[in-house]
């Protein structure tokens, strides 16, 4: 059998500052703990302790933890894939910042801009690199600093209550056992939804890219057609999960653990119900961290490993949906 890739280690990091739903209501009086919990399952989220901390800074401890848990050192990593919608700078990408902060040799650093599907897109690239023998060990990081980019006024309440800061990382390498590892990754997109979940400005199509009017009109903040995104997510996540399971030759009863993207607890419960996956097999962290976008799935992997919930031999399903629209799923035999 051809070589497979496998996730050899996982790590995560979240900032220490906790913002509860009640804390948010002091800034956004028209929301409430009851509304947020009932509609999303979120109780609290973490945010950076002070100005000046970027996505690459959160990525450093997560990456170190993943590399250590893989039994490797920084010098064993051949390439970085950095997934984020909140890069430290407009350019260059956060991957090179991480490479430098970790003191790594001059390995390639690729940034992936696929929002909530960023981890699954990154896994697809890393899996192909490993199977083709291009690289031996690929570090994937999903890291986000959302808290500096949210409209914390009544106008932005539908989006701003959802997001939190955090980072998750995995090391992907050749599977030591051909029966185990990444069985497949399926990724999809449809730009029909591009304007239903986006941050519009600054934008290269405008001269200048940013103006005071754009700021005053709130066009610098994320905008979301929540109901439409909810509908798409609950349709596309089960669809792509079924495709991934079929391609992997497993059925839903074989799935021991379901680690979905964390956009809304209700979306995940709905998806699990449609797939017939019992609730106790779903991994949640949205209640504690909110939506950490590209970081949600690797944080879920890292926490599940730490808790002893994810064990060798298990068949694990990942699925996610987000801006773009983009979505994907993967089946991994641990
Ligand atoms: N607090 C209080 N009330 C609110 C809030 C809030 N934070 N936000 C919206 N409301 C109000 C609305 O204005 C509306 O009021 P109205 O009935 O007077 O008009 C009411 O609550 C209901 O609003 P809905 O939008 O219908 O609420 P819904 O049940 O759809 O929940 C939510 C909103 C949680 C955003 C949901 O639509 C959702 O989860 N959507 C998908 C999110 C998602 O998956 N995003 C993708 C990932 S993000 C990424 O990729 C970057």
Average pLDDT (107-119) is 98
Q: What is the pLDDT of residues 92-110, one digit of tens each?
A: 999 999 999 999 999 999 9
* Distance from the alpha carbon of residue 146 to the mean position of ligand 1, in angstroms: 18
Is residue 146 part of the annotated active site? The answer reads no
Q: Are 24 and 31 in contact (CB under 8 A)?
A: yes
Average pLDDT (309-329) is 97
Is the per-residue pLDDT at 311 higher than 60? yes
Pairing of strands 17-20, 181-189: unpaired
Average pLDDT (256-267) is 97
Q: What is the pLDDT of residues 152-171, one digit of tens each?
A: 989 999 999 999 999 999 99
Which residue out of 22, 32, 33, 39 has the highest number of ligand 1 atoms within 8 Å of its CB and is therefore the one to mutate?
39
Cis preceding linkage at 305, omega within 30: no
Does residue 174 line the site of ligand 1, with CB under 6 A? no
Going by the DSSP 8-state scheme, the letter that residue 329 receives in this structure is E
Is the per-residue pLDDT at 44 higher than 70? yes
Does residue 42 line the site of ligand 1, with CB under 6 A? no
For residue 64, CA distances in Å to 85, 202, 251, 313 come to 21, 33, 35, 25
Confidence at 1, pLDDT banded by 50, 70, 90: low
Note the residue count of the chain.
334
* Distance from the alpha carbon of residue 158 to the mean position of ligand 1, in angstroms: 5
Q: Which protein residue's CA is at the shortest distance from atom 50 of ligand 1?
A: 322
Determine the atom of ligand 1 nearest the C-alpha atom of 159: 35
Does residue 197 line the site of ligand 1, with CB under 6 A? yes
Is residue 201 part of the annotated active site? The answer reads no
For residue 184, CA distances in Å to 268, 270, 273, 312 come to 21, 23, 23, 18
Closest to 274 in 3D by CA, of 244, 237, 245, 320: 237
Q: What is the pLDDT of residues 146-155, one digit of tens each?
A: 999 999 989 9
% of the chain with per-residue pLDDT over 90: 98
Catalytic residue among 184, 261, 268, 284: 261
Alpha helices by DSSP H, the chain? 21-27, 33-40, 55-69, 94-101, 118-132, 157-160, 212-216, 226-248, 265-275, 286-289, 296-306
Confidence at 239, pLDDT banded by 50, 70, 90: very high
Q: What is the pLDDT of residues 56-97, one digit of tens each?
A: 999 999 999 999 999 999 999 999 999 999 999 999 999 999
Average pLDDT (108-130) is 98
Is the per-residue pLDDT at 194 higher than 90? yes
Does residue 83 line the site of ligand 1, with CB under 6 A? no
Is residue 291 part of the annotated active site? The answer reads yes
Does residue 43 line the site of ligand 1, with CB under 6 A? no
Which pLDDT does position 3 carry in this prediction?
A: 86
Q: Are 142 and 168 in contact (CB under 8 A)?
A: yes
Average pLDDT (120-126) is 98
CB within 8 A of 284, min separation 6: which ones? 41, 262, 265, 268
């Amino acid at each position: 059998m051809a070589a497979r890739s496998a996730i050899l280690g996982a790590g995560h990091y979240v900032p220490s500052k906790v913002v509860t739903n009640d804390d948010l209501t002091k800034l956004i009086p028209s929301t409430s703990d009851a509304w947020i919990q009932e509609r999303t399952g979120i109780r609290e989220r973490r945010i950076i302790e002070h100005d000046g901390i970027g996505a690459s800074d959160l990525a450093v401890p997560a990456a170190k933890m993943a590399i250590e848990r893989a039994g490797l050192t920084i010098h064993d990593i051949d390439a970085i894939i950095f997934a984020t919608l909140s890069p430290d700078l407009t350019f260059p990408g956060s991957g090179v910042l991480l490479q430098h902060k970790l003191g790594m040799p001059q390995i390639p650093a690729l940034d992936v801009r696929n929002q909530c599907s960023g981890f699954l897109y990154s896994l697809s690239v890393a899996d192909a690199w490993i199977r083709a023998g291009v690289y031996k060990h690929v570090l994937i990081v999903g890291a986000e600093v959302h808290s500096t980019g949210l409209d914390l006024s009544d106008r932005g309440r539908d989006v701003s209550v959802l997001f939190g800061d955090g980072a998750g990382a995995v090391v992907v390498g050749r599977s030591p056992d051909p029966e185990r590892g990444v069985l497949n990754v399926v990724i999809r997109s449809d730009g029909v939804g591009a304007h239903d979940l986006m941050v519009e400005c600054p934008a290269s199509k405008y001269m200048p890219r940013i103006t005071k009017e754009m700021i005053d009109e709130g066009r610098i903040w994320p905008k979301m057609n929540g109901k439409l995104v909810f509908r798409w997510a609950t349709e596309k996540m089960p669809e792509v999960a079924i495709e991934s399971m079929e391609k992997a030759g497993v059925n839903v009863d074989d799935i021991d653990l379901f680690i979905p993207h964390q956009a809304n607890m209700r979306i995940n419960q709905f998806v699990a119900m449609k797939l017939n996956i019992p609730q106790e097999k779903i991994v949640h962290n949205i209640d504690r961290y909110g939506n950490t976008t590209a970081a949600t799935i690797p944080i879920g992997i890292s926490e599940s490993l730490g808790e002893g919930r994810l064990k060798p031999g298990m068949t694990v399903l990942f699925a996610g949906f987000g801006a773009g629209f983009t979505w994907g799923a993967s089946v991994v035999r641990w």
